[in-house]
Amino acid sequence: MPAPAFWSPEMAEATDSALSSGQCVIEREHFFVHGLIEIPVIDTAETFSWGVWVSLSRDNFERMGRLWETPGRESEPPYFGWLSSELPIYEPSTLNLKTNLHTRPVGLRPAVELEPTGHPLAVEQRTGITSARVRELAELLLHPDHRESRRGPA
């Protein structure tokens, strides 16, 4: 995901908004960090990762920013946030799922831990997915026109 769901291209010209590969500010009011939802692939030793955006409070965003290049930052407690990326593979929407953002060592994107709910993405993060599911996700992402036919009747 190149930007939070709430970003629009015209914001790039605004003086009160900014987007980088790791952080985003919209209208000096909304603050986001790019992190990874990691899902174990249970029939391999691999991990499947979704690159997503999480909103943070101003205080947590500023604290995270002060520590961005600080060794040992991974000892910070997790920051509460709201998932701010729409992953179209999942229903219901992934927008605004509750998260905890875990800072990792300098140079690594934060890890996004979803609240343990019944949402399909949260279930997959907790229980893992198979390599066949990884192939299915890749196919759905590469061929979104087939998504409706694969979902079946509503």
In a domain, 3, yes or no: no
In a domain, 23, yes or no: yes
The DSSP output letter for 109 is P
The DSSP output letter for 11 is G
pTM of the model: 0.91
**Which pLDDT score, from 0 to 100, does residue 145 have?**
73
**Which pLDDT score, from 0 to 100, does residue 143 have?**
86
In a domain, 126, yes or no: yes
Element spanning 141, H or E: helix 131-142
DSSP codes joined into one string, 29-76:
TEEEEEEEEEEEBTTSS-EEEEEEEEEE-HHHHHHHHHTTT-TTGGGS
The DSSP output letter for 145 is G
Q: Domain containing 102: what range?
A: 9-149
Angle at 89 between CA 88 and CA 94, to 5 degrees: 60
In a domain, 1, yes or no: no
In a domain, 49, yes or no: yes
In a domain, 78, yes or no: yes
Ranges of the chain whose pLDDT falls below 50: 149-154
Domain count, the chain: 1
Terminal Cα distance for the chain, rounded: 27
- Tokens representing residue 72 in the block: 């040992």
In a domain, 154, yes or no: no
In a domain, 37, yes or no: yes
**Which pLDDT score, from 0 to 100, does residue 153 have?**
41
Element spanning 18, H or E: strand 18-19
31: closest CA among 67, 73, 74, 80?
80
